[in-house]
Structure formats: C-alpha cells, structure tokens
Amino acid sequence: MKVALFGRNGQLGSSLLAILGDSMEVRAYGRNEVDLADGTRLRETLLRQEPRIIINAAAYTAVDRAESDADTARRVNGEAPAVMARVAGEIGALLIHYSTDYVFDGTAHEPYTEDSPTAPLGVYGKTKLAGEEAIRAAAGAYLIVRTCWLYSNHGRNFLKTMLRLADERDELRVVNDQIGSPTYARLVAEASVQMLSAMSDGQGFRTERSGVYHMACQGSVSWHGFAQRIIDLSGRAARVRVTPISTAQYPTPARRPAYSVLSCDKLERGFGIRLPEWGAALRQCLADDHGLA
C-alpha cells in the first residue's frame, strides 16, 4: 500500500514513520522535500506518487509565531490540506489529517465533543479549522483526528522543555489555569494506524466512517499539574520547585483556551480505541526512550 506522509520530522510524523515504515511503502516528506506553503508543488508531488493513503502530520504549529505570520500559517494549515483533499478525491486515496483542541474557545466546563461549536481564539486555531472545513467540503474518504497537548521524546514540546529547564533552574513557574489532556504522540500514531486499517474494506475505503474524531489521553490537568508530574516522575522533585502562576502572569502573543478537554467517546464507539490516562502515558513515554535526545 503506497502512503504519502507529510511532517516526517515532527513529533507525530516521526512516530508514524517508525510504525508504518516496516509494513507499507511509505514516501515521507519533510519541509525540505515539499514546502506545504507551495500548493502547486504539493499537488504535483501527490499526482506523481499516486498514494492510496495520504497522511498529513505536518502543520504550522508555532502558535505564538502564527499571530505575526498569518499568511504562512493559512497556507500550511488551511490551504495545503485543501489541496491534499482535492487530490485524494481525484485519485481515490484516503486522507488522514490532524487538527487541534485550539479550534475551541475554552469556555466550556465539560469535554468538547466533535459536534461542539468551534470558535478559535487565535490564528493557529483559525487556520487549522479552515483546513478541517476544506477537507470536509472535498467529499472524499477522510479522517480528521483532533488531538491535544502532544509531547514525545522527539522534537520540541512541553515535556522536553520542562526537563531542560529543570536542569538549569531550581524553580519552574507554570500556568495553572489552562486545563487539557497531555497526550503522548506515539500513542496517537499507533491508534491512527489502527484507524487506517479499519477504514479499508479490502477494495476501497469505508467512506461512511469518514469524519472528525477526538483522540487524546484520558483525564485532564493544568500545565502546572503536568509539569509537577514530569518533575516527580523524572526524579527531580527534591531539587526543583514547580510554582503555579496564572495565564495573566505569563502573557503570550496568542490567546489559548482555558479549558480544552476533548471527549473521545466517538473514537471508542467507532473504532474501539481509547487512549490510556495521561499520567500512565507519561510514565510510558519516560520509560520508552533511551534518553531524551
């Protein structure tokens, strides 16, 4: 089965490549091979390869930088998925695309479902939502997987930042009024591969299963609580203090949702998949790798 994978160097893309590389004929693209801001080149690449499955794990994920670079964010997060969806329709491929909890405004008090109204607060969320809408409009076989607070042993993420800072400082000041579900990227990659197999009916794809699905680790916590658990589990608690602060004390260019917990019931009903509780997943991540390079 030919697969085109975008985002090969990212947290999720590299996990997907590690899993799929053995069993499928994967052509993996990083920014150097195909810049997703260039829709023409993206289209040509896909038409030349004619994959059966297109996986888009690439995105403009720099949430704060997007506020001052909206045009690039729009092209990468909004227009590139539209190109992928159109080509997927033309060649009969399945598109799996990733989106974010940041499509919500964070004013809810219970987990967001796939049908909850979207209202992104910043450029990143708005452009990711535009990507989702373009895929839905293209009417091919697709899966849009919205995930949340991704981390892994690879790439740039909160887990690695906390571990690095903990080696440099004796106090970490972390916001305690944004609540979400930290999610280990490797688990999302594994579950995505399960979804891909379940989408195939031997000949084609089960288009009736196309749709948006929420996929995150169970449970929820603040960034402060997540940081504290990282420090505890990594054996640094005796040396490093984790101090709660408010979002107002840590101003950033982009506003972030105060609450962005995702209900993952639809994923469980449709595909029988449920990710573990976030603390268990964090333990697994810390145990998984041979170091945190």
Ligand X SMILES: NC(=O)c1ccc[n+]([C@@H]2O[C@H](COP(=O)([O-])OP(=O)(O)OC[C@H]3O[C@@H](n4cnc5c(N)ncnc54)[C@H](OP(=O)(O)O)[C@@H]3O)[C@@H](O)[C@H]2O)c1
Residue from 3, 4, 5, 10 in contact with ligand X (CB under 6 A): 10
Instruction: Please give the helix or strand (H or E) that residue 46 lies within, else none.
Output: helix 39-49
Q: Contact between 149 and ligand X (CB under 6 A)? A: yes
C-alpha separations of 188 from 145, 148, 171, 194, 267 in Å: 9, 10, 31, 10, 12
Nearest residue to ligand X on Cβ basis: 10
Q: Which stretch binds ligand X (CB under 6 A): 18-26, 59-67, 195-203, 271-279?
A: 59-67
Contact between 5 and ligand X per CB under 6 A: no
Paired strand residues for 242: 172
Residue 16's identity, in one-letter code, is L
Catalytic residue among 124, 142, 151, 184: 124
Q: Is 292 in the site for ligand X (CB under 6 A)?
A: no
CB 107 within 8 A of CB 141: no
Nearer to ligand X, 161 or 237 (CB): 161
Asked whether 182 and 221 are in contact (CB, 8 A), the reply is yes
Catalytic, 213? Answer no
Torsion of CA 181, 186, 187, 192, to 10 degrees: 110
Is the CB of 204 or the CB of 211 nearer to ligand X? Answer: 211
According to the binding rule CB under 6 A, does residue 37 interact with ligand X? yes
**Which residues belong to the active site?**
124
Tell me which residues touch ligand X (CB under 6 A).
Answer: 7, 9-13, 30-31, 35-37, 57-61, 76, 98, 100-101, 128, 147-150, 155, 185
